[in-house]
């Protein structure tokens, strides 16, 4: 405990934002307490990033067994033992769990306090009867799956991603409510493991935050794999029918007399997976007593991640911004600086990459083409390279995908979008170029190893360079060629 029993900082919540805040602060010599009501690691370790990627890896391998003929091997239908497969997912999680072990953080000098924290005043929290006072606080309590008020859903039964990995079986058929990243990733994974899957999405297309043409390509791939997609539909009711669920859907405005694609329908499935957004974990924190303002439950912060009480910060999902583990890490690093030192920094969201881990992966950084044109006007252009022409994609029998890079005047990169195997890794090159102010034409001169998927970025940059060969530039090239021909050998 610090002098006069006042800590330098108390982090509330043991997910990524809280863990990074605690480790970073302790490493700088600050006195730190980290409060967690359940177990360290948060959604990412227990119910999100880690187990979902393990499940996706198993599903990918199952798909490759079926597609082995394309590689000159004997294809066969793999036998999927749901209990054994999900146990392997939990085993992967157990291997990573020690990274977030309480004793590891205690060894760093962090006072790990188990229990639920509640502000009793702006300067003090109560944890199971223990009072913690601090100069600074960080709210890092994260978010959870939001469950829409669908008539009959509670009675019929459902699960979210939070329960998906502690099951002992793969459902025979599944309705996925929500066509965002979580819903789409799990839909493809369960389908590849033998589940009959239907995705219901309220909006007119899946993955609405992504570049539309790439999202549409991915949607086509999901359909080819046998996933039924009902976009522009709302679930109006779910009923229990024996051991199954009957799901009723219709257009958001209700049933119409239009074509068959616009009418209400019902179908039966074994289970329902809800992946329809997130809700903040801010109940029972005593935010009113602390004087911390919220908006629809999400904690409001300024550019320095301070709440309405300037000594109380917030980071991670609980702020309602970019709900990604890597952004929580980024925010926590900013909080450490701003909470402990007099020179404070504004959080920088200009270059935030993200990725949806389907196959192929769909990665994004910056603006879509439409967003860029709305913001920057007629000087915007978009440059595309289809991976069906890329040697490495062909050798991998994965020649479906696209790189699209959006630029402004002078070739400044405004956004990058990649649908490809390994797109989450490929997007880092584009993100770095944006961060460093490197223009797209420069990426064309960067030597990429051959053959790699990252050559798709280089080829897109080549396309941009070719697009610039017009007007006076083309005349200058023609003149240079003529002069070159006249030179002696």
Percentage of residues in the chain having pLDDT higher than 70: 96
pLDDT at 257: 45
Count helices and strands in the chain by DSSP H and E runs: 17, 23
Is the per-residue pLDDT at 398 higher than 60? yes
Strands (DSSP E) along 56-172, which ranges? Answer: 110-114, 117-121, 124-127, 130-139, 143-145
Does CATH place domain 354-467 in 3.30.390.30? yes
**Nearest-angstrom CA–CA distance, 228 and 474:** 49
Where helices occur in 97-175 by DSSP H, the ranges are 102-107, 153-156, 161-164
Query: How does pLDDT run across 203-224, given as a tens digit for each residue?
Result: 999 999 999 999 999 999 999 9
Task: Work out the average pLDDT over 342-362.
Answer: 95
Cα separation values, 135 from 14, 154, 305, 314, 435, Å: 19, 43, 16, 14, 34
- pLDDT grade for 255, boundaries at 50, 70 and 90: low
pLDDT at 470: 67
Is the per-residue pLDDT at 401 higher than 50? yes
**Nearest-angstrom CA–CA distance, 70 and 154:** 44
Query: How does pLDDT run across 91-127, given as a tens digit for each residue?
Result: 999 999 999 999 999 999 999 999 999 999 999 999 9
Burial classification of residue 114, based on how many CB atoms lie within 10 Å of its CB (0-12 exposed, 13-18 middle, 19 or more buried)? middle
Other CB atoms within a 10 A radius of the CB of residue 297 amount to 14
Sequence-ordered list of residues with C-beta below 8 angstroms from that of 14, at least 6 positions apart, any chain: 34, 35, 36, 38, 39, 40, 41, 42, 100, 112
Query: How does pLDDT run across 260-280, given as a tens digit for each residue?
Result: 456 899 999 999 999 999 999
- CA 35-36-40 angle, to 5 degrees, is 120
- Selected from 3.50.50.60, 3.40.50.620, 3.40.50.2020, 1.10.3720.10, the CATH number assigned to the domain covering 3-40+101-145+279-340 reads 3.50.50.60
Where helices occur in 252-324 by DSSP H, the ranges are 287-290
Percentage of residues in the chain having pLDDT higher than 90: 91
Instruction: Give the CATH architecture of domain 153-277.
Output: 3-Layer(bba) Sandwich (3.50)
Query: How does pLDDT run across 16-50, given as a tens digit for each residue?
Result: 999 999 999 999 999 999 999 999 999 999 999 99
The answer to whether the 3-40+101-145+279-340 and 153-277 domains have the same CATH topology is yes
Is the per-residue pLDDT at 258 higher than 50? no
Is the per-residue pLDDT at 469 higher than 90? no
Which residue ranges make up each domain of the chain? Answer: 3-40+101-145+279-340, 153-277, 354-467
Q: What DSSP letter does each residue of 311-375 carry, written as one string?
A: TEEE-SGGGSS---HHHHHHHHHHHHHHHHSSS------SS--EEE-SSSEEEEEE--HHHHHHH
Q: Is the peptide bond preceding residue 451 cis, with omega within 30 degrees of 0?
A: yes
**Nearest-angstrom CA–CA distance, 197 and 206:** 15
Task: Work out the average pLDDT over 433-442.
Answer: 97
């Amino acid at each position: 405990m610090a002098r006069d029993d006042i800590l330098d900082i108390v982090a509330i919540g043991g997910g990524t934002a809280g863990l990074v805040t605690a480790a970073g602060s302790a490493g700088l010599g600050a006195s730190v307490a980290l409060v967690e009501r359940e177990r360290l690691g948060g959604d990412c370790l227990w119910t999100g990033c880690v187990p979902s990627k393990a499940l996706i890896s198993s599903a990918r391998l199952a798909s490759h067994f079926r597609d082995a003929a394309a590689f000159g091997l004997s294809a066969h239908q793999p036998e999927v033992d749901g209990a054994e497969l999900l146990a392997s997912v939990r085993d992967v999680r157990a291997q990573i769990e020690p990274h977030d072990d309480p004793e590891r953080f205690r060894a760093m000098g962090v006072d790990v306090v188990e229990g639920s924290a509640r502000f009793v005043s702006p300067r003090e929290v109560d944890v199971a009867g223990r009072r913690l006072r601090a100069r600074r606080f960080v709210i890092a309590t994260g978010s959870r799956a939001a469950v829409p008020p669908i008539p009959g859903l509670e009675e019929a039964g459902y699960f979210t991603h939070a329960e998906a990995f502690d099951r002992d079986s793969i459902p025979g058929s599944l309705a996925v409510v929500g066509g965002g990243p979580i819903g789409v990733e799990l839909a493809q994974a369960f389908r590849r493991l033998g589940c009959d899957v239907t995705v219901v999405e309220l909006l007119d297309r899946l993955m609405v935050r992504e570049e539309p043409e790439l999202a549409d390509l991915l949607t086509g791939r999901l359909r080819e794999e046998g996933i039924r997609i009902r976009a522009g539909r709302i679930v109006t009711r779910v009923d229990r029918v024996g051991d199954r669920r009957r799901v009723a859907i219709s257009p958001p405005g209700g049933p119409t007399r239009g074509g068959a694609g616009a009418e209400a329908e019902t179908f039966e499935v074994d289970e329902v997976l809800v992946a329809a957004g997130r809700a903040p974990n801010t109940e029972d924190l005593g935010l009113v007593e602390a004087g911390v303002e919220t908006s629809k439950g999400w904690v409001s912060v300024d550019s320095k991640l301070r709440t309405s009480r300037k000594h109380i910060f917030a980071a991670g999902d609980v702020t309602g911004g970019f709900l990604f583990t890597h952004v929580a890490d980024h925010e926590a690093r900013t909080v450490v600086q701003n909470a402990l030192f007099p020179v404070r920094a504004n959080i920088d969201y200009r270059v935030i990459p993200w990725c949806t881990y389907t196959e192929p992966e769909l990665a994004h950084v910056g603006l879509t083409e439409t967003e860029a044109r709305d913001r920057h006007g007629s000087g915007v252009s978009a440059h595309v390279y289809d991976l069906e022409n890329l040697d490495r994609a062909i050798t991998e029998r994965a020649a479906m995908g696209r790189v699209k890079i959006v630029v402004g005047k002078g070739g400044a990169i405004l956004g990058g979008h990649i649908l490809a195997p390994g797109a989450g890794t490929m997007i880092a090159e584009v993100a770095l170029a944006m961060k460093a102010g490197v223009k797209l034409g420069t990426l064309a001169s960067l030597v990429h190893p051959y053959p790699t998927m990252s050559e798709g970025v280089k080829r897109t940059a080549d396309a941009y360079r070719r697009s610039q060969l017009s007007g006076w530039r083309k005349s200058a090239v023609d003149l240079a060629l003529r002069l070159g021909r006249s030179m002696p050998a």
